Amino acid sequence: MIKTALLFAGQGAQVVGMGRDWARELPTARSWFDRANAALGYDLAALCFDGPEAELTRTENAQPGIFLVSWVALQLLRERVPGLSFQAAAGLSLGEFTALTAAGALGFEDGLNLVRQRGRFMQEACAATRGGMAAIIGLDETPTREVCAQAGVTLANLNCPGQLVISGPAEHIARACELARARGARRALPLPVAGAYHSPLMASAQPKLQAELERVTLRPPAVPVIANVTARPHDGPETLRARLVEQVTSPVRWEESMRYLIEQGFTRFLELGPGTALTGFMKRIAKTAQVYNVADMASLAATAAALGADGAR
């Protein structure tokens, strides 16, 4: 049997127009967007479909928007491939919440509301601090960690070979980029983000998220869901809560998470939701892996056809 893992994107994947073609043409999609609007009490669907971009990009909107479009992608794929099964799930940063919802650990409304509140708490942390992030391309982990220590920033994302992201006080990010280039990085580019995600500057969001997590019911995932913090499957609900709180200030160990799944025999990966960043990462991590994505009508049709051809076993 082919072992399949679902992958869900994090913040930065949002784009104005995401989900719009599905909602126009597919009743199932429209019903999920309507359900999300009712749960949140505002028109998130309209933000996803029509923007404006500045409003959609706000953390408190981008996070539930990406969660919603990713969830709809999964439901549409299931509708087209009735035999679809998966044996694990993972998500980058906020995508971990989507993965947990897909695995049944969270209900849809609870997951949606959690990422909405998580985004709001992180937006507040951004406003209270002056943080930034930068992509470091072509420099290995060890010298990048040395750069971080020297510049007073932290390693935030370990995405794939040759692509790392650093995070910290904005005035330190520029210095870190200079140091990284001096150490041989091909590129060291500040990112257009609101703050220093996955760094200690997000600490003020943690107790607020903890309180929200205590209000929802968490169930054991039906399949293993890989935690960003440990790059290993979540345990029971209580440690799951703790890992999701830790995740706000901890590095996202994405490459290690994917290598763990590959070691467990996973060979097929389905990226669900806006963008293809995770597909790109996987091509750098394991060139022989089968990777498909569902982001719009065309990719939905192509992935459904590919999975249907082998029965999605």
Express each pLDDT in 276-285 by its tens digit: 999 999 999 9
Tens digit of each residue's pLDDT (9 = 90 or more) over 143-152: 999 999 999 9
Query: What is the Cα 33 distance to its own chain's centre?
Result: 19
Beta strand segments in 67-217, E: 88-91, 131-137, 154-160, 163-169, 187-190
Of 228, 152, 148, nearest to 188 by C-alpha is 148
Q: Report the topology of domain 3-127+200-309.
A: Malonyl-Coenzyme A Acyl Carrier Protein; domain 2 (3.40.366)
Amino acid identity, residue 312? A
CA distance 107 to 57: 25
Q: What is the pLDDT of residue 287?
A: 92
Q: What local confidence, expressed as pLDDT, does residue 238 receive?
A: 82
Ramachandran area for residue 70 (φ above 0: left; ψ -120 to 50: alpha; else beta):
alpha
3: buried, middle or exposed (CB in 10 Å: 19+, 13-18, 0-12)? Answer: middle
Asked whether residue 192 carries a pLDDT value surpassing 70, the answer given is yes
Query: For residue 309, what pLDDT is reported?
Result: 57
Quick one: pLDDT at residue 71?
98
| Higher-scoring residue by pLDDT: 237, 179 | 179
Residue 310 has pLDDT above 70, yes or no: no
d(CA 124, CA 73): 29
Q: What's the pLDDT band for 308 if we cut at 50, 70, 90?
A: confident
Q: Domain spans of the chain?
A: 3-127+200-309, 130-190
CB 278 within 8 A of CB 7: yes
Catalytic machinery residues:
93, 198
Residue 58 scores a pLDDT above 80: yes
Dump the DSSP string for 241-260. HHHHHHTTTS-B-HHHHHHH
Mean pLDDT of 281-290: 96
CATH of 130-190, one of 3.40.50.460, 3.40.640.10, 3.30.420.40, 3.30.70.250: 3.30.70.250
pTM of this prediction exceeds 0.75 = yes
Long-range CB contacts for residues 47-55, cutoff 8 Å, separation at least 24: 48/14, 48/16, 48/17, 48/18, 48/19, 48/20, 49/16, 49/17, 49/18, 49/19, 49/20, 49/23, 50/16, 50/17, 50/20, 51/16, 52/16, 53/16
Does the N-terminal peptide bond of residue 224 adopt cis geometry, omega within 30 degrees of 0? no
pLDDT of residue 311: 52
Tokens of 306: 């590919």
Residue type, 145: R
Tell me the C-alpha distance between 278 and 13, whole Å. Answer: 10
Instruction: List Cβ neighbours of 176 (8 Å cut-off, separation of 6 or more).
Output: 134, 147, 148, 150, 151, 153, 166, 168, 188
Q: Cα(127)–Cα(63) distance, rounded to whole angstroms?
A: 17
Nearest to 167 by CA among 98, 91, 93: 93
> What was the pLDDT predicted at 312?
55
Q: Do 62 and 56 contact (CB within 8 A), yes or no?
A: yes
